[in-house]
Copies of this chain bind each other. A is one copy, B any other.
Amino acid sequence: MQTTPLLRRLQAIATPTDEEREVLASLSGATRQLRPNEDIARVGEQPSVVCLMLEGIACRYKISADGKRQIMSFHLPGDMPDLNTLFVHTMDHNFGALVPTTVITVPHDKMRGILVRYPRIAHLLWRETLIDAAVYREWIVMRDRPAYARVAHLFCELFLRMQVIGLSKDLSCPLPLTQLQMGDALGLSDVHVNRTLQELRAEQLIRLEGGTLTILDWEGLNYAGEFDSLYLHLKRAA
């Protein structure tokens, strides 16, 4: 049942046939355990495998000239974040774990074989990479808004993404990120993330403790974050 997260994820954004589900369910490869801040691939490398996330949280990031880390996306179980390395061979960014994380690595050759034999799976995965791009676009927009909206937006997005892979319970989901990590993703200092979290708590929109996010007011949080889930292209809404 290793690949359950992948199927959950793909069924959230598309409608694979039984055969396709079977092929994807049988995806296998070396399992790899990563510790927080351990990298999976770095700028300049040319990976020969793609990762399937099973557990944990990973991110893509770049390091600026002044040493600041910019997180460009978060990746959750079920994601295949480096599918792009099949066609864009050289990493233009880093990819690493933020918390203890488990992935399986599938050789490029094997993936390519599947794409050729099952064009519909290729299209499914193409769709997945396009939704990835849609998330980037939303982040470009979202990161131009005030801190309050940015943090709210991030929580809305992560909650929905956790929900479709079955990791939420009611209005709670795991969110074991530090304020520094959130800041690097939101383009905010950790200090300001902290102050903003306090605002969101004071407004009774969220609770965040012990690595668990609880949304107290979904509508209110959506409004605060100017959040519209359309860009996630999920088949069903929350």
Number of copies: 2
The one of B65, B93, B143 in contact with A143, judged by C-beta atoms closer than 8 angstroms, is: B143
Known: A90-B230, A136-B136. A143 touches B141 (CB 8 A): no
A128 CB, min distance to chain B CBs, angstroms:
9
**Which of A101-109, A116-124, A155-163 sits within the interface?**
A116-124
Q: For A116, give the chain B residue with the smallest CB separation.
A: B119
**Contact A88:B230 (CB < 8 A) given known A137-B60, A137-B93:** no
Would you call A187 an interface residue if the criterion is a C-beta within 8 Å of the partner chain's C-beta atoms?
Answer: yes
Interface residues of A in 79-136 (CB under 8 A from B): 84, 87-88, 90, 92-93, 116, 119, 122-123, 126-127, 129-134, 136
Query: Considering the chains assembled together, what is the distance between the CA atoms of A64 and B60 in angstroms?
Result: 26
- Residues of B contacting A140 with CB < 8 Å? 70, 72, 136, 139-140, 143
Note all chain B residues with C-beta closer than 8 A to A138: 92
Q: Which residue of B lies closest to A63 (CB)?
A: B141
Q: Do A233 and B90 contact each other (CB < 8 Å), given the known contacts A119-B119, A187-B144?
A: yes
A226 sits at the interface (CB 8 A): yes
Q: Do the beta carbons of B132 and A133 come within 8 Å of each other?
A: yes
Give the nearest-CB partner of A136 in chain B: B136
Instruction: Point out which of A44, A88, A139, A231 has the most chain B C-beta atoms below 10 A from its C-beta.
Output: A88
Q: Which residue of B lies closest to A119 (CB)?
A: B116
Q: Are B129 and A126 in contact (CB under 8 A)?
A: yes
B233 near A92: Cβ-Cβ < 8 Å: yes
Report the minimum CB–CB distance from A22 to chain B (whole Å): 22
| Complex Cα spacing A141 to B90, Å | 18
Partner of A130, one of B84, B122, B141, B143: B84
30 A-B contacts, Cβ less than 8 Å apart?
Answer: A62-B137, A64-B141, A64-B144, A64-B145, A64-B226, A70-B141, A70-B144, A72-B140, A72-B141, A73-B137, A84-B134, A87-B127, A88-B127, A88-B130, A88-B134, A88-B233, A92-B134, A92-B137, A92-B230, A119-B122, A122-B122, A126-B126, A126-B129, A129-B129, A129-B133, A136-B136, A136-B140, A140-B140, A143-B144, A144-B187
